[in-house]
Amino acid sequence: MNSDTENHGFGAVLKELGLKETPKRRVMLEILAEEQRFLSPEELWLALKGRFKTIGLPTVYRNLEELANGGVISTVIHPNRQLYYYFCTAESGHHHHFICTSCRRVEDIPECTVAAMEGEIVTRTGGKITSHIVQFNGFCRHCLADPNERTAI
Amino acid sequence: MNSDTENHGFGAVLKELGLKETPKRRVMLEILAEEQRFLSPEELWLALKGRFKTIGLPTVYRNLEELANGGVISTVIHPNRQLYYYFCTAESGHHHHFICTSCRRVEDIPECTVAAMEGEIVTRTGGKITSHIVQFNGFCRHCLADPNERTAI
DNA sequence: CGCTAAAAAGAAATCGTTTCCCTTTGGCAC
DNA sequence: GTGCCAAAGGGAAACGATTTCTTTTTAGCG
Ligand SMILES: [Mn+2]
Ligand SMILES: [Mn+2]
Ligand SMILES: [Zn+2]
Ligand SMILES: [Zn+2]
């Protein structure tokens, strides 16, 4: 249970995805896991610059995409259509998120009640649903209480 | 009930939004209303080029945004994060869409059952929900029956 | 008809994201 | 430990969807 053996388990996660465990990837996951708000690739890059003498923005984009494809991190659907990522700590399976458009915090919405809706849609349209997007946007309790929580996008 | 008085009602729609009724805007709405699939700004631009000697792409972007802000047309959330628009013919109020990722057809999902979910989210997180995104992606009945329906994105 | 603010054209800029190409490195074999 | 090689990373450049800017045209109104 020491930090050497635990190590956030990121090594195993990367191995499962067939990705080499590099320092950049490990620290990227560390930063995302410690940050409770969604980050843009450039913001993560700036954070990484404090930990590595050289770190390229393309590396950040590349790894973020790989990690998101592997399901290790989640993407945020943002009205400005830019990329944002978040490390979802929920152990459970399929679920959705409530994102604060003010401070960028992300909270889990454990149940997905959309399954029933899907059944009716299939019946009604005769189509086949391959995926769905459900995201709740708003202001989290912190931002409701304190406007200074606000984070610029 | 003749075509002069009916005129798709687009003039009134534009006036309500405080927008001048220009030929470009009228034809944009005509094209979108006749097309049952979502279009990119550039695709709409190409269609408009067949109707106007001069039509600028920035004009298309500008008007699409204005019309979408006014609620006259709808935007499609697409994984490639590009803009797509669709004229939603549903008279009813709040609802969501099933989009075919193969042929781009859009179908209405009249009820929004997410309200209950929202109530619980507010209770659970203590936040305030300002909007939500619900979209179902998949293959429509036409594409399931005939692969040739497919449209490139 | 004449005015004026809104709209549109066309060219150029923007900038988030991706591609390219060369160098470095992690993981494995020996 | 050493060597090998495919994967990963760096940096510069390209890309391309979207936006901005400036000038010209037009819709709407008296
Ligand atoms: Mn989650
Ligand atoms: Mn609709
Ligand atoms: Zn917040
Ligand atoms: Zn289809």
Task: Summarize pLDDT for A34-49 with one digit per residue, the tens.
Answer: 999 999 999 999 999 9
Q: How far apart are CA A87 and CA A39, in angstroms?
A: 10
Of all ligands present, the nearest one to the C-alpha of A98 is 1
| Residue A90 pLDDT exceeds 70 | yes
- Judge whether residue A53 contacts strand C, using its CB and a 7 Å cut-off: no
User: Which residues 100-139 of chain B have a CB under 7 Å from nucleic chain C?
Assistant: none
Distance B110 CA to ligand 3 centre (A): 31
Q: Which CATH superfamily is domain A91-153 in?
A: Ferric-uptake regulator, C-terminal dimerisarion domain (3.30.1490.190)
Contacts of A140 in chain B (CB under 8 A): 125-127
Domain with CATH 3.30.1490.190 in chain B: 91-153
CATH class, domain B1-89, is mainly alpha
Q: Give me the mean pLDDT over the A121-133 stretch.
A: 93
In this complex, which of A109, A121, A127 lies closest to B121 when CB atoms are compared? A109
Contact A107 B100 (CB under 8 A): no
CB-based contacts of A124, cutoff 8 Å, min separation 6: none
- Judge whether residue A69 contacts strand C, using its CB and a 7 Å cut-off: no
Q: Give the percent of chain A with pLDDT over 70.
A: 95
Encode pLDDT of B32-83 as tens digits: 999 999 999 999 999 999 999 999 999 999 999 999 999 999 999 998 999 9
Q: Which residue of A has its CA nearest to B110?
A: A121
Q: Are strands A128-139 and B128-139 parallel, antiparallel or unpaired?
A: antiparallel
Look at residues A139, A44, A56, A125 and name the one whose alpha carbon lies nearest to residue A87.
A44
Q: How far apart are CA A121 and CA B134, in angstroms?
A: 13
Of all ligands present, the nearest one to the C-alpha of B97 is 2
Q: In angstroms, what is the C-alpha Rg of chain B?
A: 18
Neighbours of B133 (CB within 10 A): 16
Please report which confidence band the pLDDT of residue A8 belongs to, taking 50, 70 and 90 as the band edges. Answer: low
| Residue A103 pLDDT exceeds 60 | yes
Name the DSSP class of B82: -
Question: What SS3 class is residue A150?
Answer: coil
| Residue B99 pLDDT exceeds 80 | yes
Q: How far apart are CA B82 and CA A139, in angstroms?
A: 26
Name the DSSP class of A39: B
Distance A37 CA to ligand 3 centre (A): 9
Length of chain B: 153
Encode pLDDT of B9-21 as tens digits: 799 999 999 999 9
Interface test with B, best of A133, A137, A144 (most B CBs within 10 A): A133
- Judge whether residue B88 contacts strand D, using its CB and a 7 Å cut-off: no
In this complex, which of B101, B129, B141 lies closest to A130 when CB atoms are compared? B101
Domain with CATH 1.10.10.10 in chain A: 1-89
B59/C13 CA-to-C1' distance in Å = 17
Q: How far apart are CA A107 and CA A90, in angstroms?
A: 10
In this complex, which of B77, B82, B129 lies closest to A138 when CB atoms are compared? B129
**Threshold 0.85, pTM exceeds:** yes
